[in-house]
């Protein structure tokens, strides 16, 4: 029996459009506004280099905008938390501000030519100069706040806050300096201005932990330049890790790297040697200033007190 041949049915194999998949539509709705915002921010951001680590990053506000908005934002912050801010005469505020004033001296000692922005061109090669112009005339403010959380933080424009819950664990000037130096380093590195902070879940991203390590490194140099022993910093990080809990997992998913890692990186020979040299120089300068001959040193214009 003869079979009748027939043409196979035409099967449409056109690819399903992405917008027919609900998950993809939902993802687009969530991601697109962030992508648009990020693109706009990227276009108006400027590239800068961080001192010491020489990391390049993009930041959003100019130095003057940062100062202006920083002061405004901090005034709002103070109004909202007024009843928790310790008074200037509280011994804890007096203590923290005394050490903070040393730390700010350390910042000024490390970055004296704050106005310099331009990279050098030597023999046709660009020599990158870290930008620290934003530190000029910065209105530093340091507050102690009644709060049990073991926390300190900095806000744009040179504002540093430490909780009483953190302060109670700090037993020496050098331990307090480790914390204040770290926060001042965030200000130096303009971390609060980084373009990457506009990304959702920034705090859990690897570059957030990189910023913390960067602040540890610069903070170590600052405390040393302020005349506070940098060798205290690695042990201090371990101690705080034991107090608030530490796990290697923090190196991958934490808002901060693990305290063990932070301690290890601060202990690196080349890093500690550089910091200790700064510390020795500053202690020598302080001793000369305190000695009876300080008047002569000043008259001769040799180290300024």
Residues that bind Zn ion (CB under 5 A): 212, 215
User: How distant, in Å, are the alpha carbons of 1, 2, 11 from that of 7?
Assistant: 19, 16, 12
Residue 155 Cβ vs Zn ion, minimum distance, rounded to whole Å: 12
Choose between 109 and 262: whose C-beta lies nearer to Zn ion: 262
Residue 126 Cβ vs Zn ion, minimum distance, rounded to whole Å: 30
Choose between 173 and 214: whose C-beta lies nearer to Zn ion: 214
d(CA 7, CA 22): 36
User: How distant, in Å, are the alpha carbons of 55, 174, 232 from that of 273?
Assistant: 21, 17, 13
Sign of the alpha-carbon dihedral angle for 200, 201, 207, 208: positive
Choose between 166 and 282: whose C-beta lies nearer to Zn ion: 166
Please tell me what DSSP assigns to residue 141.
E
Catalytic residue from among 48, 183, 194, 212: 183
Residue 153 Cβ vs Zn ion, minimum distance, rounded to whole Å: 7
- Residue 183 is a catalytic residue: yes
CB atoms within 10 A of CB 74: 19
Residue 200 Cβ vs Zn ion, minimum distance, rounded to whole Å: 20
Choose between 194 and 212: whose C-beta lies nearer to Zn ion: 212
d(CA 172, CA 96): 11
Q: Which residues are catalytic?
A: 183
């Amino acid at each position: 029996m003869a079979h009748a041949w027939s043409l196979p049915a035409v099967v449409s194999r056109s690819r399903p459009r992405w917008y027919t998949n609900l998950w993809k539509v939902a993802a687009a709705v969530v991601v697109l506004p962030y992508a648009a915002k990020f693109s706009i921010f990227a276009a108006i951001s400027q590239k800068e280099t961080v001192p010491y680590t020489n990391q390049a990053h993009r930041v959003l506000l100019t130095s003057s905008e940062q100062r202006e908005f920083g002061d405004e934002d901090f005034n709002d912050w103070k109004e909202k938390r007024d009843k928790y801010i310790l008074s200037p005469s509280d011994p804890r505020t007096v203590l923290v501000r005394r050490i903070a004033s040393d730390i700010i001296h350390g910042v000024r000692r490390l970055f004296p030519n704050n106005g310099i922005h331009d990279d050098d061109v030597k023999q046709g090669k660009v020599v990158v100069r870290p930008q620290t112009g934003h530190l000029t005339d910065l209105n530093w403010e340091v507050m102690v706040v009644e709060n049990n959380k073991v926390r300190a933080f900095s806000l744009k424009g040179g504002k540093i806050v430490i909780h009483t819950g953190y302060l109670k664990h700090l037993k020496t000037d050098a331990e307090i300096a480790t914390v204040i130096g770290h926060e001042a380093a965030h200000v130096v590195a303009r971390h609060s201005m980084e373009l990457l902070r506009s990304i959702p879940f920034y705090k859990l991203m690897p570059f957030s932990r990189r910023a913390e390590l960067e602040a540890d490194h610069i903070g170590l140099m600052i405390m040393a330049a302020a005349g506070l022993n940098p060798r205290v910093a690695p042990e201090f990080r371990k101690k705080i890790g034991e107090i608030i809990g530490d796990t290697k997992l923090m190196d991958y998913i934490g808002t901060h790297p693990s305290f063990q890692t932070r301690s290890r990186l601060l202990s690196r020979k080349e890093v500690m040697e550089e910091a200790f040299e700064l510390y020795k120089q500053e202690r020598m300068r302080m001793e000369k200033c305190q000695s009876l001959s300080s008047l002569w040193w000043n008259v001769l214009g040799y180290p300024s007190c």
